[in-house]
Amino acid sequence: MVFDLPSQSCRIGSLQVTGSASSTIRNPATGEILACVPHLGAKEAALAVDAASSAFRSWSRGTAYDRAALLTRWADLIEDRYASLAELLTAEQGKPLKEAQRELRYGNSFVRWYAEEAKRVYGETIPSERADQRILILKQPLGVVAAITPWNFPVAMVLRKVAPALAAGCTVVLKPAPETPLSALQLVELAAQAGIPEGVLNIVTGPAEDIGAVWMADPRVRKVTFTGSTEVGRLLMSQSARTLKKLTLELGGNAAMIVCADADLARALSGSMFGKFRNAGQTCISVNRFLLHDHIAQSFTERFVEQVRSLRVGNGSDPSSDIGPLINEDGCNKVEDLVNDALRSGATLLLGGKRIKGTFFAPTVLADVTPSMRIAQEEIFGPVACLSTFNDDDTAIRTANDISHGLVHYVYTEQLSRAFRYSEELEAGMVGINGTAISCAHAPFGGIKQSGYGREGGHHGIDEFLQVKYVSIGIAS
């Protein structure tokens, strides 16, 4: 498919920057070249901070109602282009078209929600113990925000970060993933068309090391919001320590889905298919480990394998595809390596287990996976389901928690007290009871442990871009 992309350049302040070199973006399903984008570096990264810093004063001083109106116009323009943006998203990332359409709606819901939330950044007054003092708490935008986004949700992760930042009154320098910059470039153009002023949202495409290093060192960047690997999150944290930036780090997960003996199996099966195979398993909240109670393990496994067998693997642009390619060769090699390691360590192959062609990996089901296997400890990021069994809640909770990550776990049970026990004892920033489709604009998404910190979504999400100022006012008593 050929896209009618405007000449690819990066909007930085009033400039459209092309740079002297470019990077080729290919469709992971076909290898076809989609576009070339600027390969920018330290100079343009600094230019973007200059632009965002100059724009901050007037953007933050405008009213929340002004910002809300512009964000709403942006959301309208995005919505008008859902069809073409979904095709572009599928072409650059590989996910099936129906998932790309869903991602567009999901991502844009953050723009609409934060347009409204901008109007609800309330401060406080606190009673003083002194008659001659009044205490006010102001909530003010932090300043320039660096947003660094991943390739697995090229639209939603941009909008989930940029919308609350702009709503709060911050300005943004954005670096999309090198694999999937095309949707992000389009979103930034639409923001400009919506009337969001020059310098408020700037985009820089190019190598993460060069751009990130400039942003982390620049004291004008007051906040970094990043989704990606724990390793890079740690690096950003150490690089930003000298300038003491506020950070939101969404660093991946290793979710367990615990299916209890009293679970509604039909519901658990449908949650499993979405929770495991959305985006070919390349989702931070994908189920990595299925923990099945002994009493239901056989019946769940038989039905699950049948449903997985019916998934159609193919180019995401084909409407009948359920699973597209993995993002690249490295991603595919990693999945292959984890599966082979599990099989050598005693796991049983029930379905799939290998690459089909290119970076298309067969939907795979492994049984007898044990907690010590690498595949149970590492984030798989591929369409591989790992099954094991348990016979009491203590063991399930211990096994689920016995990992370094803590983003999300899921539990299927029809018993209220059991649901509460799991919700309280699972070590994760999020718990899904009887459902895996938990992400939404109005609830706080985020992790604990090596999954990072900070929240995206809901009123917690806008607080990440605000600072609290205490004002003490002396008056005549």
Which residues carry out catalysis? 250, 284
Residue 257 interacts with ligand SIN (CB under 6 A): yes or no: no
By CB under 6 A, which span of 1-9, 15-23, 194-202, 280-288 interacts with ligand SIN? 280-288
Q: How far is the CB of 286 from ligand SIN (least distance, A)?
A: 8
Nearest to ligand SIN of 39, 160 (CB atom) = 160
Beta-carbon neighbour count of residue 344 at 10 Å? Answer: 9
Beta bridge partners, 474, equal: 133
Nearest to ligand SIN of 343, 437 (CB atom) = 437
Q: What is the CA 410 to chain-centroid distance, rounded?
A: 18
User: Which member of 8, 9, 23, 152 binds ligand SIN (CB under 6 A)?
Assistant: 152
* Alpha-carbon separation of residue 355 from 71, 222, 248, 313, 376 (angstroms): 43, 44, 35, 11, 20
Nearest to ligand SIN of 352, 429 (CB atom) = 429
By CB under 6 A, which span of 43-51, 116-124, 151-159, 428-436 interacts with ligand SIN? 151-159
Question: CA–CA separation, 324 vs 118, rounded Å?
Answer: 37
The binding track of 431-450 with respect to ligand SIN, each residue x by CB under 6 A or -, is --------x-----------
Q: For residue 359, how many C-alpha atoms fall within 13 Å in the half-sphere facing its CB?
A: 26
Token couple for 85: 């943006």
Residue 8 interacts with ligand SIN (CB under 6 A): yes or no: no
Instruction: Say whether 367 sits in a helix, a strand or coil.
Output: strand
Residue 410 interacts with ligand SIN (CB under 6 A): yes or no: no
Give DSSP secondary structure letters for 142-186: -SEEEEE--SSSTTHHHHHHHHHHHHHT-EEEEE--TT--HHHHH
Residue 283 interacts with ligand SIN (CB under 6 A): yes or no: yes
Q: How far is the CB of 313 from ligand SIN (least distance, A)?
A: 20
Nearest to ligand SIN of 46, 284 (CB atom) = 284
Residue 285 interacts with ligand SIN (CB under 6 A): yes or no: yes
By CB under 6 A, which span of 201-209, 261-269, 283-291, 376-384 interacts with ligand SIN? 283-291
Chain residues 197-236 in contact with ligand SIN, contact rule CB under 6 A: 227
> Residues 203-228, buried b or exposed e (16+ Cβ, 10 A)?
bbbbeeebbbbbbbebeebbbbbbbb
Residue 256 interacts with ligand SIN (CB under 6 A): yes or no: no
By CB under 6 A, which span of 149-157, 300-308, 418-426, 460-468 interacts with ligand SIN? 149-157
Q: For residue 44, report the phi and psi dihedrals to the nearest 5 degrees.
A: -75, -30
Residue 188 interacts with ligand SIN (CB under 6 A): yes or no: no
Residue 284 interacts with ligand SIN (CB under 6 A): yes or no: yes
Q: Give the type of residue at 433.
A: I
Nearest to ligand SIN of 45, 408 (CB atom) = 408
* Alpha-carbon separation of residue 406 from 64, 137, 429 (angstroms): 35, 33, 6
**Closest among 91, 235, 115, 230 to 163, alpha carbons compared:** 115
Q: Give the type of residue at 155.
A: V
Q: How far is the CB of 424 from ligand SIN (least distance, A)?
A: 23
Question: CA–CA separation, 162 vs 158, rounded Å?
Answer: 6
Chain residues 35-54 in contact with ligand SIN, contact rule CB under 6 A: none
Q: How far is the CB of 445 from ligand SIN (least distance, A)?
A: 6
By CB under 6 A, which span of 56-64, 137-145, 262-270, 278-286 interacts with ligand SIN? 278-286
Q: How far is the CB of 318 from ligand SIN (least distance, A)?
A: 23
Nearest to ligand SIN of 179, 250 (CB atom) = 250
By CB under 6 A, which span of 123-131, 138-146, 150-158, 386-394 interacts with ligand SIN? 150-158
DSSP E strand boundaries for 1-92: 10-12, 15-17, 22-26, 33-38
**Closest among 363, 359, 361 to 349, alpha carbons compared:** 363
* Alpha-carbon separation of residue 429 from 102, 440, 441 (angstroms): 24, 15, 16
Nearest to ligand SIN of 292, 411 (CB atom) = 411
Q: How far is the CB of 298 from ligand SIN (least distance, A)?
A: 31
Residues 6 or more apart whose Cβ sits within 8 Å of residue 22: 8, 36, 37, 38, 39
User: Which member of 74, 151, 153, 300 binds ligand SIN (CB under 6 A)?
Assistant: 153
Instruction: Say whether 242 sits in a helix, a strand or coil.
Output: helix
Residue 217 host element (H or E): helix 208-217
Q: How far is the CB of 428 from ligand SIN (least distance, A)?
A: 14
Nearest to ligand SIN of 152, 301 (CB atom) = 152
Token couple for 369: 């996976």
What residues make contact with ligand SIN under the rule CB under 6 A? 152-153, 156, 227, 250, 283-285, 439
